[in-house]
Amino acid sequence: MAAVEKLSIALTPELAADIRTAIATGDYASTSEVVRDALRAWKRQRESRAVAIEELRQLWREGVDSGDAGPLDGEDIKRRGRERLAALRAGDRR
């Protein structure tokens, strides 16, 4: 393994018990292995979230750049929504 840095962390009793259980069941060989795996998963989650946020920003920009949607007819929107709801309840997936 490359150079390592030792850190001290404080965990709730529940998290500490979860780590001990993971080691006792053979899922992991050591506390360090559990924490490293958890940190890798956390890093992947953060990276995935950053990608999702960027995609949302892009979609937002596209929507704004597409221009004005024009006047909206509230009654028509409600009517179409009610029709879709009725179709879903009837089992017709339009």
Report pLDDT digits (tens) over 18-55: 999 999 999 999 999 999 999 999 999 999 999 999 99
Please tell me the pTM assigned to this model: 0.64
pLDDT band for 93, please (50, 70, 90 cuts). low
Residue 26: CA count within 13 A, CB half-sphere: 0
- Cα 60 from Cα 93, distance rounded (Å): 28
The residue ranges of every structural domain in the chain are 11-66
For residue 10, pLDDT beyond 80? yes
